[in-house]
Structure 1
Amino acid sequence: MVYSDIFLPVKKKINQSIVVAAFAQILKLSVWLILIWVMYALKNDSSHFPILPLICLLIISIIFYVLRVYAHDKSHYAAFELEEILRKRLVEKINQLPLETARNIGSGNLIKVLIDDIKELHAFVADAPPLKAEAIVTPIFTLLVLFIFNWLFACLVLFITLVSFVILSYLLRKGHLLKQQYNEATVEINSRIIEYIQGMNAVRTFDAGEGAYSQYRTALTNYSQLVFDWLYSSRYSSKIARSLFSPMLVNCILIIGLSFAYMSEQVSFTTIFSFLLLTAGIAESIYPVMGLFQILEKSKAAIDRIFEVESLPFLTRTDTYNTPSNNEILFKNVYFSYQNNQQVLSDINLRIIENSFTVFIGNSGSGKTTLANLIPRFLDVEQGSITLGGIDIKQIEYNQLISKISLVPQDNFLFSCSIADNIRYGLDNITDQQVIEAAQKAEIHNFIMSLPQQYQTLAGERGQLLSGGQKQRIAIARTFLQNRPIIILDEPTAFSDAINEVLLLKAFTRLIEQHKTVIMITHRLSSAIKADQIIFLEQGKIIAQGHHDDLIKSSDKYQALWQEYQQARNWTIAVNSVNNEVTDETI
C-alpha cells in the first residue's frame, strides 16, 4: 500500500497543482535574481533608476502569486472532491459487506472512517502536494544558481542542507504517531458517545448516567493521554527540525565564511548578498512542510483505516448472473456460524413454495432470524446452498435479489423525515395518493390523519416520536408500496398492544391475500395456525415442520409448546382486593 494511492481519483488535479506550484517557485527564484540585478545596477551606477529590472520584478511577482494561489486552490478543490468520492465509495463498500462484518466493525468505527478519517485527509491532499513541490524545486534550482556564483560556498550550502535532511529524517522517525492505538482510542470515543445517546433511557433508569458518562470520560482520557504522549515524545524533534531549516542557522555559518572571503577579495559584495538572500529562500520553502508533519502523521493513520475498510471482503460474487424463473425458496444442507465459530444453523433442508405462508417458530436463540437473514444475503451460508426459483442466490445479481424481497424487522428503523417520505423511502415517482392507499392497507392512515401535520409530520430520529406498533404499521405500508413478491416479517407484533396487534393482523391478512411468498418469525403461535407450513427450530436445527393440525398430532415438542402457549394466554396472578381477599385476575 502506498499512501499516495489515496490521490488516484483526483490524481490529474493534484499533478496539475504540483506542476503549477513548481513553476511558481521557479518564478519566485527569478524574483530573487531580479532583486540581485537591482542591487547590482544600483551599486554600479546609482545615478540611473533601475526601471527595467523593477518592471520585470513587478510582472513576474504578479504572475508568481497568481500561479501559487491557483496551485493551492487546485489542490484544495481536489481535496473536497476526494472527500465526496471517498464517502460515496465507502458507503457503497459498506452496503456490499456481509451484515455480520458491518456489525462487527461497529457504528463508532464506521462513523470515524466516514467522517473523522476522511476529514483528516484534507491537509494531506490540499496542502502537502504543492508545499512538497515547492520544498523540492526551490533547493534544486537555488543550488544551481549558487554554483554559478561560487561553487565553494555552494558546496557548503549543499552540505548543510543534506546534513539537515539526514538529522530531520532521524528525528521524525522517532516521533511517528502510534497509528493503531490512535485509531482504537478515537473509535472508543465515538462508540461511547453513540452508546450513551442511543441508550439514554437505560442510562437514566439504571445509573443516572454516571456509569455511561464514566465510560466516555475514560475513553476521552485515554485518547488525550495518547495524543499528549505522542506530542511530548516529539517535542524536541519538532523544535530541532524547525531550527534546522531556519534561515538563521545557515546564514550565520555563511556570513562568517563569506566575510573572510570578502576581506581577502575572493568574493564580491554582490555574491554575499546573493548567498544570504537565496539560502534564506531554501529555508523558507522547506519550513512550512515541517509544520505539516504532525498533521500528515494523523492523515496517514486515517488512510490506513480507510484502506483497511476498503480491503474487507465483499459478499461472494460470480462472474455471470442468472434470473430466477419463480419465487420458490429452497434450503439445501445449509450450515451457518458467526465469527465466534458458534454453530447457529445445522443441516437445514427446507422448501418454501411460491405464494405460500410460512412461519418460523422456536425459543429465543434457536436461529429463526438468522435463517431469514440468509435469504436476502444479509449473511452468507457457510455450507450448503439457498436457491430462488432454482438459481443459487449467489448467482443472482444482488440488486435483483433485494428487489424481490421486503423485510419488516423486529425493530423498524424510521428516518428523520416526514411519515410520507418514510413510507415511500427507496422508491421514485410515488404519488401522495399511492402513499395514502398503502397506509390505508397497513391500518395506519387514520392515525396519521389525526396528527397535526398528517403525512408531513416528522417521525423524529430513528422514529422516536412514534410507538413500536405505529412504526411497525408504517413499515408494513412501505412493504405494500414496494409490492415485492417475497415478504419477511420478523416478530411483527413484538411491540404492539392489543389494539395495534388487531390492526397489524388485518394488515398481514391483506399481505397474504396478495399472493405473496410470506415468511413470518413469531413467538405467538396464534399467528401460525393458518400458515401453510410451520418450521419449528431448536438449537439451529429443524425439529418439526408441517401444518398446525399435523404437528399437533405428530410432534410431541410442538404439542407441548402449544399447550404452554395456551396456558400463558390464560395465565392469572393472585392480587389482594381492598378487603384483603385473594382473587384471581386474568392477564
Structure 2
Amino acid sequence: MKEKKWLRTVLSFASECRMKMILSVICAMISVAGGIVPYIGVYQVIILFLDGKPMTNGIVFRASILFWAFICLAGYITKLVFYAISTMLAHFSAYSILENMRNRMADRLMKAPLGTVLDQPVGKLKSVIVDRVETIELPLAHLIPEGISNLLLPIGVFAYLMFIDWRMALAAVVTVPVSAVMMAFGMRTFNKKYAEYMESSNYVNSVIVEYVEGIEVIKAFNQSTTSYEKFQKAIASFKDYTLHWFRSTWKLMNFNGAVLPSTLLGTMPMGMVLYINGSLSVAELTMCLILSLGIVAPLTSFTVFVNDVKAIEYAVKDADDFLNLKELENQSEQITLHRFDIEFDNVSFSYDADKADSPNYKENSALCDVNLKLSQGTFAALVGPSGSGKSTVARLIARFWDVGRGKIKIGGVNIKKLPLAQLADMVSFVTQDNFLFNCSLMENIRLGNPKASDEEVIKAAKAACCDEFIRNLDNGYNTTAGEAGGKLSGGEKQRIAIARAILKNAPIVILDEATAFTDPENEDKLQKSIASLTKGKTLLVIAHRLSTIKNADRIIVMEKGRIAKTGTHKELLKGCSLYKDMWEAHIGAKQWAAGSEKGAVKQYA
C-alpha cells in the first residue's frame, strides 16, 4: 500500500463521524491549552513569593495566591474535561469507522463472485474482518486526542520558553536533534523489519489455525507428534525472530530513553550562565527548568505512535484486499419476466478468469460450449462423473460466477441484465452443505422470507416434514441450531433448508445433491419435502443417486464440461453408454447397501 494511502482509506469511512473527529481535535487543542495554564499560574506564584509581597501586603498576597491557585485548578480541570470529551469523541469515531469498514467488506463479499470468496481461507476472512480491523481501534481512538496533544503541548511549552528567553528555549530542545538523528538511524530498516514481523506473525497464525482445525484428523491418524512439532517450531521461530529484532533495537531505544528526557543537560548550564550575568531572574530560571521537563513526556510518546501508525497501515492493507474485490456487474432496474425457462447459449466457463483470453481456453474450462434449454415447470436432472461440470451449471444459473463466454437466459433475458437481488429472489438453491445460523430454527427458516409470519414459517416446516422433529426439541421452534447448525443431523439440516426454500416460493428450484445426507429412514420424508418445494416450479436436480431422478422429464448427461447426451431415463439406457454404466454401477451399489433406498423421486416432478 502506498504511503499515506491507508490514511485516505480510513478517512473514507469517516463521513458520518467527521464532525465528531473535528470536535475531538478542537477539544484536544483546548485540553492542551488548559494544560499550559498551570505552568503560567505556578510562574506567577513564584514571582509573588520572590517579590517579597507576603511581608508588605498580606491580604493582597493571599488574594493573589488564591487567584492563581484557582487559575491553575481551572486550567487543570479544563485539561481533564476536554481531554475526556476528546477521547470519548475519538472512540465513537474509531468504532464508527470500524463498523463502516466491516459493513463495506461484508457488502463487497456479497457482491463479489462466489469463487473469489471461496478462494479465501475462512481463517483469513475472520482474521481480517474481526481481528485485523479491531487493531485499528486502539491507535485510531488515541491517535487523535493524544497525538495532537503530544504535538501541540511541546510546541506550546517551547513558545512559552521563547517568551521568557529564546536561549533557554533552544537549550530545552538541545537533546531533540541528537535523539532524532539516532531515531532516523534506527528507523532505516524499520519498514523492512516490520514487514518481516507481520509475515512471520501471519505464518504462525496460519499454523495455529491449521493445527486446531485439523486436530481431529491428527488424532485419528496418530500424527500428533509430527504435527505438534511443526506447531512448536513455528512458535519458536516467531519468538526467535521477534527477540532478535528487539535485541537489535535495544541499544538505540535505551540511548534515546536516556538522552531525550535529559533536557536539564541544556537548560541547567545555560540557565546558570544567564542568571549569573543577570539575563534571568530566579523566577524565570525556575520556570524555564520546570517547563523544559514538561517537553519530555509528549516527545517520548511519539515512539509509540510510530508503531501504532504502522499497525493501522498493515491492518488497512489487509482489509483493502477485500474492500477492492471485483464486484459482479449489477443492474438497478428490475425487468418483468413472464416465463421462467432457462437457456444456456454456447456457454463456456473457467474458474481461472485470467485464462478467459487464452488460446487454450477450452482445454482449461470447467464448461465448454454448453447449449441447453430447460422449459418452465419441468423437472430436469444433471448427472455425470465427478468434475463433469454439474454443480458449475447450477451455480452459474444463480450467478455465483459470471460466464466466461456465451449467455445464460431466464425468460429470454440475459441474467446479467437482471439485478442481483431480483435474480436471487427467482432462484431457490438447496445444496448438500446447508448452512444454518446460530439462531432459532424459526429464524433460520424465516430467512427464506423475512416478512413471513410465524404461522407461515410453521406451514413451510410442515410441508418440509420437519415440524415433527422440531416440536420434539426442548424449545421447539425457539431451539437454536448451534454453530453452523451443529445441533442437528445432516438430514434435519437439509429439511430445514428445504423449508426455507418452500417459504421463499421462488419459481426456479435448484437441488444440488440435496439428498446427500439422507438416511433410509428419512428418505421418504425428504422426498415429500422436495415434492412440496418443487410443485409447479422449474426444477433442476443434481444427483449421484440415479434412482432419484429416473422419472425426470429430461436427464442431461455431462462429461468433461460438455453435454454428452440428453433424454429420458429409458432413452439414455439405450443410447448413452456413459449413463448406462453409471446406472449399472448405481444398481450394483444399492444391492450392497445395508438398507435399500425407498422409492424413486417421482415426487420431485
What pairs up with 1:85-234 in 2 under 5 angstroms?
Answer: 85-158=100-173, 160-176=175-191, 178=193, 180-188=195-203, 191-192=206-207, 194-196=209-211, 198-199=213-214, 201-207=216-222, 209-210=224-225, 213-234=228-249
Aligned pair count? 573
What pairs up with 1:57-76 in 2 under 5 angstroms?
Answer: 57-76=72-91
Q: Which residue of 1 aligns with 2:324?
A: 311
Does the 8 Å contact 1:112/1:186 carry over to 2? no
Q: Deviations over 1:429-466 (max 9, x none)?
A: 43332222212211222222333333233322222222
Q: TM-score, normalised by structure 1?
A: 0.90
Distance 1:478-1:199 versus aligned 2 partners, 3 A rule: farther
Q: Which residue of 1 aligns with 2:603?
A: none
What pairs up with 1:51-62 in 2 under 5 angstroms?
Answer: 51-62=66-77
Q: Which of 48-57 and 347-356 deviates more?
A: 48-57
SS at match of 2:301: helix
Distance 1:397-1:294 versus aligned 2 partners, 3 A rule: same
| Residue type at the aligned position of 2:116 | T
Q: Which residue of 2 aligns with 1:7?
A: 11
Q: Which residue of 2 aligns with 1:472?
A: 494
SS at match of 2:272: helix
Distance 1:501-1:292 versus aligned 2 partners, 3 A rule: same
- The answer to whether structure 1 residue 489 and structure 2 residue 511 are counterparts is yes
Distance 1:486-1:572 versus aligned 2 partners, 3 A rule: closer
SS at match of 2:366: strand
Distance 1:158-1:117 versus aligned 2 partners, 3 A rule: same
| Residue type at the aligned position of 1:38 | V
Question: Which of these residues, 341, 358, 378, is aligned with residue 380 of structure 2?
Answer: 358
Task: State how far apart, in whole Å, the 1-side matches of 2:394 and 2:279 are.
Answer: 90
Q: Which residue of 1 aligns with 2:601?
A: none
Does the 8 Å contact 2:332/2:419 carry over to 1? no
Task: State how far apart, in whole Å, the 2-side matches of 1:350 and 1:233 are.
Answer: 66
Distance 1:197-1:478 versus aligned 2 partners, 3 A rule: farther
Q: Which of 362-371 and 431-440 deviates more?
A: 431-440
Question: Which of these residues, 272, 290, 293, is aligned with residue 285 of structure 2?
Answer: 272
Q: Which residue of 2 aligns with 1:255?
A: 268
Q: Deviations over 1:149-180 (max 9, x none)?
A: 22233234455434433433442343347455
| Residue type at the aligned position of 1:416 | N
Question: Which of these residues, 221, 228, 245, is aligned with residue 260 of structure 2?
Answer: 245
Does the 8 Å contact 1:120/1:299 carry over to 2? yes
Distance 1:93-1:233 versus aligned 2 partners, 3 A rule: farther
Does the 8 Å contact 1:7/1:125 carry over to 2? no
Distance 1:94-1:241 versus aligned 2 partners, 3 A rule: farther
Q: Which residue of 2 aligns with 1:578?
A: none
Q: Which residue of 2 aligns with 1:579?
A: none
Q: Which of 116-125 and 261-270 deviates more?
A: 261-270
Q: TM-score, normalised by structure 2?
A: 0.87
| Residue type at the aligned position of 1:4 | L
Task: State how far apart, in whole Å, the 2-side matches of 1:185 and 1:404 are.
Answer: 47
| Residue type at the aligned position of 1:13 | K
What pairs up with 1:374-523 in 2 under 5 angstroms?
Answer: 374-425=396-447, 427-512=449-534, 514-523=535-544
> Identity rate of aligned residues, in percent?
29
Does the 8 Å contact 1:174/1:234 carry over to 2? no
| Residue type at the aligned position of 2:79 | F
Q: Which of 520-529 and 448-457 deviates more?
A: 448-457
Give 1:197 shift: 5.2
Task: State how far apart, in whole Å, the 1-side matches of 2:237 and 2:324 are.
Answer: 28
Task: State how far apart, in whole Å, the 1-side matches of 2:230 and 2:335 are.
Answer: 50
Distance 1:456-1:196 versus aligned 2 partners, 3 A rule: farther
Task: State how far apart, in whole Å, the 2-side matches of 1:199 and 1:117 are.
Answer: 23
Task: State how far apart, in whole Å, the 2-side matches of 1:222 and 1:505 are.
Answer: 55
Does the 8 Å contact 2:380/2:555 carry over to 1? yes
Task: State how far apart, in whole Å, the 1-side matches of 2:115 and 2:193 are.
Answer: 29
Does the 8 Å contact 2:348/2:405 carry over to 1? yes
Does the 8 Å contact 2:520/2:596 carry over to 1? no
Q: Which of 388-397 and 6-15 deviates more?
A: 6-15
Task: State how far apart, in whole Å, the 2-side matches of 1:357 and 1:183 are.
Answer: 53
Task: State how far apart, in whole Å, the 2-side matches of 1:463 and 1:289 are.
Answer: 48
Distance 1:68-1:465 versus aligned 2 partners, 3 A rule: closer
Give 1:291 shift: 3.2
| Residue type at the aligned position of 1:408 | V
Give 1:220 shift: 3.8
Task: State how far apart, in whole Å, the 1-side matches of 2:427 and 2:101 are.
Answer: 29
Task: State how far apart, in whole Å, the 2-side matches of 1:209 and 1:432 are.
Answer: 49
SS at match of 1:384: strand
Does the 8 Å contact 1:334/1:346 carry over to 2? yes
SS at match of 2:295: helix
Q: Which residue of 2 aligns with 1:580?
A: none
| Residue type at the aligned position of 1:88 | N
Distance 1:393-1:185 versus aligned 2 partners, 3 A rule: farther
Does the 8 Å contact 1:171/1:241 carry over to 2? no
SS at match of 1:531: coil
- The answer to whether structure 1 residue 549 and structure 2 residue 570 are counterparts is yes
Task: State how far apart, in whole Å, the 1-side matches of 2:124 and 2:431 are.
Answer: 24
Give 1:127 shift: 0.9
